[in-house]
Amino acid sequence: MYENILRHPGPTPIPKRVELAMNHNIMSHRSAEFVALYHETINKVKPIFGTKEDVLLLPSGGTAALEAAAVNTVAKGEDVVVITVGAFGDYFVSICERYGFNVHKLEKSWGEACTAQDLAHFLVGLPPIKAVFMTYNETSTGILNPVDELAKVVHEHTDALVIVDGVSCIGGVEAKMDDWGIDILVTGSQKSMMLPPGLSFVALNQRAWQVIEANQTEAYYLHLLSYREWAKQGMTPNTPTVTLIYGLREVCKLIEEEGGIAQSAARHTLMRDMTRAAMKALNIPLLAEDAYASPTITAIKAPQGIEISTLLAHLKQHYHIDFAGGLGSLQGHIFRFGHMGYCFPSDVLQAVSLIEAALQDLHYTFTPGAGVIAAQEVFLAAHK
């Protein structure tokens, strides 16, 4: 049985070095050895978030971290703004509504980004807002919101916290949490962080902690004040994912060896540009505009005359490469090419060549090799 090449937007491939690190002998999460591992790893993680503040590790998927960010900062009946540009922005809406927050939803069409002007206009006339929730990288559409600009608008017009979902991009884009005025930044392990699912991250500044301390949350497992107190000791309040923390330390070393998060972000931007150039050369439409296109995932529309489901099934069955389909209203209309984490320009060239092979099999009219050549030209131009 052949192993499929995973080009999903998560989970993503895991480097062999990280796999080997996770094979380390298990140890007690209350031992001195674990405390040393915890402190070392957290110090290595902070530059990836662009912060000198607290970064907490939760033994959970990213959704739990999003929920923790919400339930620890906002009380029932308080007003919040949620910016949604796709399926994962809608996650924040659902979480906030479940806890009884008064949600003001700034909704953009799927495939569009939220601009600073959109947000400034939306905030006019609203009651006092406790928090503004936004998605940095919208996985369902391949949109990268300008969270630096959005955070500035929030601080200019309100006293609200800026809470950002960075699940599908942290590790693959630059994040300057402290400089941009982001109060809480969340991500998960299984995307650009090059780990299996099961570990999430919540980075918080002192402004966020002041709000959390004043908020009487009902959370128990997701009680962030408890995580903060245990973190001072180099531990977590509940049993952590010890093996993933071993792996996380190795991921941080890989990013350091590459040249830091700026270089990792540059690699992801290059892969985005290669992918988009290839699709344009093949006359296959893209969902997002160039200005707001994600460096970690590209949403690609159906080639003329070919069903998305047929193309994806053919690619997986005959060429052993696995892409993701669309979500929600985009199901059957797009497929999603994940180029994040443990992915390199050579992987993009491989994937494009296999897409071309499948297109020829399905009798799509194009110049063979056009996509590969376009992607290769972008790559070569970046290395001149």
**Binding-site residues from annotation:** 336
**Binding-site residues from annotation for substrate:** 336
Label residue 283 exposed, middle or buried (CB < 10 Å: 0-12, 13-18, 19+): middle
Is the alpha carbon torsion for 249, 297, 203, 218 positive or negative?
negative
Is the alpha carbon torsion for 292, 350, 62, 108 positive or negative?
positive
3-state helix, strand, coil in the chain (%, to 5): 45, 15, 40
SS3 185: strand
Is the alpha carbon torsion for 149, 151, 156, 158 positive or negative?
positive
Q: Token pair of 2, please?
A: 């052949």
CB contact at 8 A, 84 and 134: no
Instruction: Write the DSSP assignment of 337-362 as a string of letters.
Output: EE--SS--HHHHHHHHHHHHHHHHHT
- Give the HSE-up count for residue 241: Cα atoms under 13 Å, Cβ half-sphere: 21
Beta-ladder partners of 143: 138, 293
Q: H helices within 206-260, ranges in order?
A: 206-214, 224-231, 242-258
Q: Residue 127, preceding bond cis, omega within 30 degrees?
A: no
Other residues' Cβ atoms within 10 Å of the Cβ of residue 79:
16
